[in-house]
Amino acid sequence: MRTLPNLLSLGRIFAGPLVMLFLAQGAVWGLVATLVVMALAECSDLLDGHLARRFGATSSFGKIVDPLADSLYRAMVFLAFLDAGWMPMWMVAIIVSRDILVSYLRIFAQQHGITLSARTSGKVKAIVQGSVQIGAVVLHLAFAAHVAGAVYGLLLLATLVTAWSAVDYTLGFLRSVDIRATVANRP
């Protein structure tokens, strides 16, 4: 049981390339296979942390690999959407940049002796991104080429929520560092 949460997280890293491969096929079977892989990846994202906490299997490795797996998986899915022509580069750039930014903010916070914990905006971002990714594939599967506007709207929503999360984490980091500096400077 101790390694199951970590195996679930690691599985998401491998799910990303599968989504890229299946989506690139441009066929109905590829969309169906993409949907199955995405559903399994989202279930693993829900389960890994829950199982780790429930069975006392949290680990330093898990705390690093879980957000890494989430970032890599979602980035690969959005890159597959870019390749398929479903979304523009600027959206992918915002989405990928947010995860890089948050990773570095956590490192900087740790250097100041602060733990930058998961924020509500990060959880909302993950839910919206996962829902939008699955929704985009379902729309393409159900309605073929007649969904470009709806898919673009969904992807724009995911991009805006992701940008909001980046701002929220940045402000949270700045407040944490400012509070730490204020406390350290008290007489």
pLDDT at 1 over 60: no
Mean pLDDT of 119-137: 94
Residue predicted with more confidence, 181 or 149: 149
Q: How confident is the model at residue 131 (pLDDT cuts 50, 70, 90)?
A: very high
Q: What is the mean pLDDT of residues 120-125?
A: 95
Domain of 141 in residue numbering reads as: 4-184
Mean pLDDT in residue range 50-77: 89
Structural domains in the chain (count)? 1
Q: Tell me the per-residue pLDDT of 12-27, one tens digit each, with 9 for 90 and over.
A: 999 999 999 999 998 9
| CATH number (domain holding residue 126) | 1.20.120.1760
- Judged by average pLDDT, the poorest of 36-40, 75-79, 137-141 is 137-141
SS3 string of the chain? CCCHHHHHHHHHHHHHHHHHHHHCCCCHHHHHHHHHHHHHHHHHHHHHHHHHHHCCCCCHHHHHHHHHHHHHHHHHHHHHHHHCCCCCHHHHHHHHHHHHHHHHHHHHHHHCCCCCCCCHHHHHHHHHHHHHHHHHHHHHHHHCCCCHHHHHHHHHHHHHHHHHHHHHHHHHHHHHHHHHHHHHCCC
pLDDT above 70 for 183: no
Q: For residues 89 and 65, which has the higher predicted lDDT (pLDDT)?
A: 89
